[in-house]
Chains A and B, each alone.
Chain A
Amino acid sequence: MTTSAAASGRWRLRQPSVIPGFGLTLGFSLAYLTLIILIPLAGLVWRSASLSGEEFLAILSDERTIKALEVSFGTAFVAALINVVFGVLVAWVIVRYEFPGRRIVDAIVDLPFALPTAVAGIALAALYAPNGWVGQLLNLVGIKAAFNPTGIVIALVFIGLPFVVRTVQPIMEEIDREVEEAAATLGANRFQTIRRVLLPGLAPAILTGFALAFARGVGEYGSVIFIAGNIPYVSEIAPLLIVIRLEEFNYGAATAIATIMLCLSFAMLLVINLIQTWNRRRYGHGA
């Protein structure tokens, strides 16, 4: 008699359901999440909070730290831009064109998700080093593609490609051909249709793909360190500097650099979520 009144009047954690196991599964999930993820991350924040403000600033204003962060964010940005161009191109070719081996090409795009980063790292280094297959050719035209920031960009292009393709591809598949036909009948040429009709619809997905590739690139370690040359102030990435500081038992510096990277990554995550919410509201589906 009072159940409906109680349900509407009182705050409750969950809506009633006949399905059992809520307490068990949620309890286990929360406990596991807390032990594996939350406590360790809280430890990082706590450790970083125990540094004094001056210590923190001193580490972050250190020339080598600043350069490493610049290298990480700069190369990740350039690589994400390259991935936007070629990722959209690859997605377009897979979605729109019929050719033999299309499924294989589609499957191979996921290679960077499946291939361990260290394997990718040594393979790219062997390929793009001055004596490697591709490196030799690039040397002829005066491009040095390994052991400098260019090498880092190459590794991050490899790592980031599937993020762009896999965010853009499903949206491309959903495009209604009639829209393009309408544009064509209204006198738009193909280039105008792509630029003014198709690209605006894809823009949120492209932006999300860019952000995902960028965020991944900033934190990437395994594939980069073999091809980067790791020259301090020039081609040393921030994650490597964390490792170096740890090996020196300079936990304070490692923590400070990690904290600033985490803050920047979470800001990125927030931006991605905002884009997706905005996108859903505008087009009725997520990227």
Chain B
Amino acid sequence: MARKTLRSPTTEAPLARYALMAAAFLFLALFLILPLVAVFIEAFRKGPGEFFASLGDPDTLAAIRLTLLVAVIAVPLNLVFGVAAAWAIAKFEFKGKAFLTTLIDLPFSVSPVISGLVYVLLFGAGSVLGPWLKSHGIEILFAVPGIVLATVFVTFPFVARELIPLMQEQGTGDEEAALSLGASGWQTFWYVTLPNIKWGLLYGVLLCNARAMGEFGAVSVVSGHIRGLTNTMPLHVEILYNEYNFVAAFAVASLLAALALVTLVVKTALELHYGAEIAAGRKH
């Protein structure tokens, strides 16, 4: 920086630069950093003893188990769909492709509450299916299947929308080479395509999982809020908070916040090391 005295014509005066940076940092501190810090401070307000005691509560443990269970079902479902949809869309030219891509993004433009509502209308007491399900003793609403369905709905596009642009960019050359050398379709997928897309796939799964574990609105509508049975972690946070049990609410919230932080760290690491292999990752 020998030319420090000569200001480049394509940047601002130092004073303006510092003012802009200060404004940006103040804004980020007020809206992003402080809320995150507040979660952990409120969780430990009465000391680590109280923190761990509230996490050891049986209802809290049940909520943690349910959240893990829902993610374990919902994420692989959307993973399989994402890979299949990306294969069809990226490796072939067919009519209606653009329309299909738009449909996949649909859940992003639907309010979470509406995502839950559609399943209430489909399986609820007043629906066509409702009485039949009841007479056969099948519980979907206010039970785990409903929570899984709502979660699958809101996390539907994550894997697909990471993979589609990535696989489109990679083209079909590698696969054609493998096939011409005598590999079967499955072999081509396992040994050629999958290694090419693994980081992008991991990236999509990561985002999908964060949303699956943290979803609130859609799950809230279909869960029925039965303590210890149909309460996921975010719903449990709400119940504890509304009972003025702030330490416990923030203790559960701090676990979710820690998950978010881990997600961000892994995401950033993936972008740093495999930027080219998750090319579409920066777009949302």
Contact A25 B84 (CB under 8 A): yes
User: Which residue of B11, B106, B214, B241 contacts A226 across the interface (Cβ within 8 Å)?
Assistant: B241
Contact B88 A134 (CB under 8 A): no
Q: Which residues of A contact B200 (CB under 8 A)?
A: none
B217 close to A (CB within 8 Å) = yes
B32 close to A (CB within 8 Å) = yes
Q: Which bucket holds chain B's interface residue count?
A: 35 or more
User: Which residue of B25, B92, B152 contacts A36 across the interface (Cβ within 8 Å)?
Assistant: B152
Within the complex, the shortest CB–CB distance from B230 to chain A, in Å, comes to: 15
Q: Interface SS of chain A: helix, strand, loop or mixed? A: helix
Contact A44 B114 (CB under 8 A): yes
Contact A222 B234 (CB under 8 A): yes
User: Which residue of B109, B149, B237, B261 contacts A268 across the interface (Cβ within 8 Å)?
Assistant: B109
Contact A18 B207 (CB under 8 A): no
Within the complex, the shortest CB–CB distance from A136 to chain B, in Å, comes to: 13
B11-44 interface (Cβ within 8 A of A): 11-13, 16-17, 20-21, 23-25, 27-28, 30-36, 38-39, 42
Contact A43 B121 (CB under 8 A): yes
Which among B16, B17, B87 has the greatest number of chain A C-beta atoms within 10 A?
B87
Contact B35 A180 (CB under 8 A): no
B253 close to A (CB within 8 Å) = yes
User: Which residue of B39, B80, B121, B257 contacts A255 across the interface (Cβ within 8 Å)?
Assistant: B121
Q: Interface SS of chain B: helix, strand, loop or mixed? A: helix
Q: Residue on A with the closest CB to B237?
A: A118
Contact B217 A239 (CB under 8 A): yes
Contact A119 B257 (CB under 8 A): yes
Contact A105 B28 (CB under 8 A): yes
Q: Residue on A with the closest CB to B22?
A: A93
Q: Residue on A with the closest CB to B214?
A: A116
What is A's interface to B at a CB cutoff of 8 Å? 13-15, 17-22, 24-26, 28-30, 32-33, 36-41, 43-44, 47, 86, 89-90, 92-93, 96-97, 99, 103, 105-120, 122-124, 126-127, 132-134, 154, 157-158, 161-163, 166-167, 169-170, 177, 180-181, 184-185, 190, 193, 212, 215, 218-222, 226, 239-240, 242-243, 246, 251, 254-255, 258, 261-262, 265-266, 268-269, 273
Q: 29 pairs across A/B with beta carbons < 8 Å?
A: A14-B93, A19-B175, A30-B100, A33-B100, A43-B121, A44-B114, A90-B24, A107-B268, A114-B261, A114-B263, A119-B234, A119-B260, A127-B38, A133-B38, A166-B283, A170-B282, A190-B11, A190-B12, A190-B13, A219-B113, A219-B114, A222-B217, A226-B241, A239-B113, A239-B217, A246-B120, A251-B120, A255-B117, A258-B111
